[in-house]
Chain A
Amino acid sequence: MSSQVKKDVNLRVQGWTEDELAATGAVRDVVRAPAAVLSAPGARVDPTSPEVVQLAADLVATMRVSPGCVGLAAPQVGEQLQVFCVDVSEHPKTRSHHGTFVLCNAEVVSASRNERAREGCMSVPDLTGDVKRATRVVVRGTLPGTGEEVELPAEAFEARALQHEIDHCAGLLFLDRVAGAHAVYARQTYL
């Protein structure tokens, strides 16, 4: 597969579903700021451990029942760990995407083409903010359960969602990245 093709995706990640976890996810309460767990860096995890597999299933289950939710990180359910799920497939701003997936210990390998856009977050329900993020990224992380290391290219809305979730795992909220003093807004309408 050419790395230059616009619809470039990692087929392993795209083919992943939560069925691989063989665990029934529980819907967890979503933590809201100011909660200390949202502002502390998450610890690296063993992606093959049963606790992490269960957390992965819980994150997906919680994302599924939350209207408009395209991603959820472990700190948002009170766990100071580097695990998050993403699914932007239903979002209108999405271009290419990988469907539902969970990554552990993820990092941004490369990033380019910054764009500013307004972000909201389930953990900061009353505010939104303008944040500049790369519209093309390559992210490296590990799949829960099998522990396979994967590297995936992402663009547009999926790239933004990935950076937002990786920030959560590092103890950063969008509030830490807003473009300036006039870039944080009281939310007028709710999801």
Chain B
Amino acid sequence: MTLHAITVLGHDRPGIIAETTDRLAHLGLNLEDSSMTRLRGHFAMTLICAGDADADGIRAALASLTDDGTLSVTVHEVPEEHVVALGGTSWVLSVHGGDRPGIVSAVAGVVAAAGGNITDLTTRLAGDLYVLVAEVELPAGADSTALAEELREVAGRLGVGATLRPADTDEL
């Protein structure tokens, strides 16, 4: 049993997911994790698949997807990763304001300097409104109040606003 990371990227049209996953199912591959979305009109799919097929076999099965030149496909074998729970805390970071270069790098730099790990990040550009929402894991003992203040300062210098909130979960 091996793991493969597969990406399919290109011009969006109906049927990309159906065709891709049908070919993978015929190889006996299991889609363990995936992210599929449309980015600025491009369809972007990233899959982690488990199964016995090798990378060449997967590439061959997906080759016809690229025939018309509108989609590109990559296939790489990847190692099994074990996510270690660090006993930290989970936060949601929202940043929004006028679009300009450097917003993501500035706030990500502040988070990294505090030892925070961004586990998920989405950005949206709507007109000139730029929106970033990130999920952040902070190590145990991290000073979240100081981090929130520094994020506000750095964002403020870029003319955008930043809010750091606990990612509270309703335990039912």
Contacts and interface: CB of A to CB of B under 8 A. Distances in A.
B160 A34 contact: yes
A190 to B, nearest CB: 12
Contacts of B139: none
Interface in A148-177: 171-173, 175-177
A183 B94 CA distance: 11
A127 B121 CA distance: 16
Interface string A17-39: 00000000000000011100001
Interface stretch (B2-10, B67-75, B130-138): B130-138
B167 A126 contact: no
B125 to A, nearest CB: 9
A181 interface: yes
Contacts of A32: 127, 129
A108 interface: no
Contacts, number: 69
Interface residues of B, number: 26
B128 interface: yes
Interface in A123-166: 124-127, 132
Interface in B132-172: 133-135, 159-161, 163, 165, 167, 170
B97 interface: yes
A181 B133 contact: yes
Nearest to A129: B133
A106 to B, nearest CB: 21
A109 B151 CA distance: 29
Interface residues of A, number: 24
A32 to B, nearest CB: 7
A22 to B, nearest CB: 38
The interface centre, meaning the residue of B92, B97, B159, B161 with most chain A CB atoms within 10 A of its CB, is B161
A125 B127 CA distance: 10
B105 interface: no
Contacts of A14: none
A180 B96 contact: no
A177 B92 CA distance: 9
A181 B134 contact: yes
A39 to B, nearest CB: 4
Interface string B92-110: 1010111100000000000
Given A33-B96, A39-B161, A180 B120 contact: yes
Contacts of A179: 92
A34 B96 contact: yes
Contacts of A178: 92, 94, 133
A67 B130 CA distance: 25
Contact of A34 (B92, B122, B130, B167): B130
Interface of A: 32-34, 39, 114, 124-127, 132, 171-173, 175-184, 186
